[in-house]
Chain A
Amino acid sequence: MTNFRLPKLTFWRTVVAVIFLAGAYAAYARFALGFQQSTNLADSQPWGLWVGLGTLCGVGISAGGFAIAAAVYLLGFERYRPVVRAAVLLSFLGYLTVIVGMMYELGLPWRIWHPIVMWNRRSVLFEVSWCVMLYTTVLSLEFSPSLVEKIPWVRLRELYLKWHHHLLIALVLIGAILSSLHQSFLGGLYLLAKGKVDPLWYSSYLPTLFYLSAVPAGLAATIMAVYLCNRSLHARVDPRVLAELSQIIAPMLYVYALLRGIDLVTHGGAGYLFKWREESLLFWFEIAMFVIAPVLLLSQSKVRNNPNALYGTCALVVMGFMANRLNVSITAFQASSGFYYIPKWTEFALSMATVTAAGVAFHYAVIYLEILPRSVPAKNWMTRHPATA
């Protein structure tokens, strides 16, 4: 049993190692040298990739957890139960990346606790910070049974699980409300920047639009994660469950596109749609990936029922969603700031490393815990099984 071996040097391990090394250097640059050496941020672009990707995308893509948990526990969609744990775990890790991201995004991260005691109820960011704190706590509690059931002390374990069972519904309900609030308030942050945000993205409906886009992106990310576990980690989730889940995405994108279109016309942003400028091109890039292509593809049962095609379509949704958040947070400010912001490589490296760490954590959680139904038993961390390594 003590047959200890060095991990094999595989392609993916090398990639992960390189990302972590680059991330480690970037973290050094951020904390030892400061923002100026580690980012291309400036007074006219005070929020860059770390907010756009780390916070906006991180929170948005983590919307799957609350949506699927609410569907299963509150609305009784039992058929999604096999993926509910994976969705919750994905969200939990997503929020952890957001909080880790805060540690390098904030100028004075050791004061991250200040909003707990220093209140400004007029600040959208204050509400966001409270919701994120509370919801991450809710997620950790929702996720906790996966860890607790591995505790060897039966009494403690049973006690905890019984107690948890009673609280679960309340947790899921609170989680759904908190999520709805801060998913939309992330868009609400930009309401205050009226006049700076390009008319193609500014809208008084930004909160609603952020909410309506986060849910399909979160579902798509969950489908992708489960697909990958099916493919590489011996998970055995019926592809029909994923296909069914994907059927919710298209209608949501319809509603989103409809509201966005009406809003563009009524706000007068529509006049910019066909202007020959970088913003308009990036707008169409975003809409094509996030709405048009997925809606067309998902209407085909061939696509929905082919796991590979479904995976690709969901990847489009997630990437289109990311394009939207980066457009709102970066592209939309370019004209008004007169500053062309391109993130420094260290900004990419630190974001990549954070997301990769979450991916690695997800991978091991699926192997060691009961996250998804699998054709092999969960590994036990007390003993090593060289045979299945």
Chain B
Amino acid sequence: MPKSKAILIDITKCIGCLSCEAACKQLHGFSQDPEPKLSPTAFTIVEEHGDRYVRRMCMNCQDPACASACLVGALKKTELGPVTYESSKCIGCRYCLVACPFNVPRYQWSKLAPFVTKCDMCYARQAKGQSPACVEACPVQASIVGWRDEILEEAQRRILSDTKYEKHIYGSEEVGGTSVFYISDVPFEKLGFTKVESQPMPVLTANALGDIPTVVTVGGGLLAGLYWITNRRKLVALAEAAESARSGKGKDPHHD
């Protein structure tokens, strides 16, 4: 993947002012009431865990489960980093919700034509060279955005330079890596972070899908072969019957 963008969220810096939430809601035209959880009208929210604030948003995985799940390819990993959603393709099967290891996508259950909703790291803004609205709104730079490799280096630099940090960058290895990283001074398990696979999720289905050619060729060949045998037996039996009918005239015709 060429250069892509990533966000670093430094939990030690967040003051819980909710400016990011507000900026996100304003950008998308949602009502400003704060919500406790991600919802179709809240693509990022700030959770309180003791005296720490954890901002949640879509992790924009490097090899996203949702994008591999989506049968029509509505969800895509862009080269720029964000995982985008093309609503005009979506059929509303909700397999992406089942697949997401971080339980991020939300469905518009109350709508008659419901769509999937989630943060796309402000793809439209980033494509124009702007920062995501939430990052721009943060008064203390608890979230920063940049090229993914540089952001990772920065995270590395921070956790090594200060002993208060946990020695792990959440998102660097999780599900094969994400485009949103967290660093913290409190163990991640205590902040409600899910323990996920270290391999990219799509690997799990790739093997099964890889079996298709085998099933088709071996299975098909086997069945065709068995049919050939069955058919031959039938022909042989018919020929034998005809033979014995010819040679055995006069014998009991009802005998078979």
Contacts and interface: CB of A to CB of B under 8 A. Distances in A.
Contacts of A189: 95, 98
B165 interface: no
B116 to A, nearest CB: 8
A127 B209 contact: yes
Interface stretch (A113-121, A222-230, A273-281, A304-312): A113-121
A34 B219 contact: no
Given A46-B94, A115-B72, A191 B226 contact: no
Interface string B187-227: 00000001111000110111111011001100110011011
B122 interface: no
B114 A122 contact: no
A195 interface: yes
A177 B103 contact: no
Interface in A63-101: 70, 73-76
A44 interface: yes
B223 A192 contact: no
B71 A129 contact: yes
Contacts of B202: 122, 192
A181 B234 CA distance: 30
A43 B99 CA distance: 12
B113 interface: yes
- Among A31, A114, A119, chain B packs the most CB atoms within 10 A around the CB of A114
B208 A191 contact: yes
- Size category of the B interface is 35 or more
Interface in B45-103: 65, 67-74, 89-95, 97-99, 101, 103
B113 A108 contact: yes
Interface stretch (B4-12, B104-112, B129-137, B238-246): B104-112
Contact of A173 (B93, B109, B115, B227): B227
B91 A188 contact: no
B230 interface: yes
Contact of A192 (B91, B99, B194, B212): B99
A36 B216 CA distance: 41
A352 interface: no
B103 A43 contact: yes
A108 B93 CA distance: 8
A361 interface: no
A35 interface: yes
A192 B68 contact: yes
Interface string A99-133: 00000011111011011001111111111010000
Contacts of B125: none
B230 A76 contact: yes
Contacts of A129: 71
B13 interface: no
Nearest to A35: B109
B56 to A, nearest CB: 13
Contacts of B196: 195
A190 B95 CA distance: 10
Contact of A36 (B91, B110, B206): B110
A108 B90 contact: yes
Contact of A106 (B91, B99, B194, B207): B91
A195 B201 CA distance: 10
- Among B194, B207, B215, B233, chain A packs the most CB atoms within 10 A around the CB of B215
A207 interface: yes
Contact of A107 (B98, B106, B113, B195): B113
Given A169-B227, A189-B95, A194 B201 contact: yes
A41 B94 CA distance: 11
Contacts of B113: 107-108
Given A106-B91, A106-B92, A126-B71, A188 B220 contact: no
A46 B72 contact: no
Nearest to A44: B103
Contacts of A73: 227
A111 B110 contact: no
Interface string A280-317: 00000000000000000000000000000000000000
A207 B196 CA distance: 22
A64 B202 CA distance: 31
- Among B71, B95, B106, chain A packs the most CB atoms within 10 A around the CB of B71
A75 B101 CA distance: 44
Given A41-B109, A115-B91, A122 B206 contact: yes
A31 B114 CA distance: 12
B72 A120 contact: yes
Given A75-B227, A114-B72, A189-B95, 13 more contacts: A36-B110, A75-B226, A106-B92, A106-B93, A107-B90, A107-B92, A107-B113, A108-B114, A120-B73, A122-B205, A123-B71, A173-B227, A177-B220
Interface of B: 65, 67-74, 89-95, 97-99, 101, 103, 105-107, 109-115, 194-197, 201-202, 204-209, 211-212, 215-216, 219-220, 223-224, 226-227, 230-231, 233-234
Q: Ordered nearest first, which 3 A-B pairs have the shortest CB separation?
A: A107-B92, A76-B230, A46-B97
12 contacts: A76-B231, A111-B91, A114-B72, A118-B72, A118-B74, A120-B72, A123-B95, A125-B95, A173-B220, A173-B223, A192-B202, A194-B201
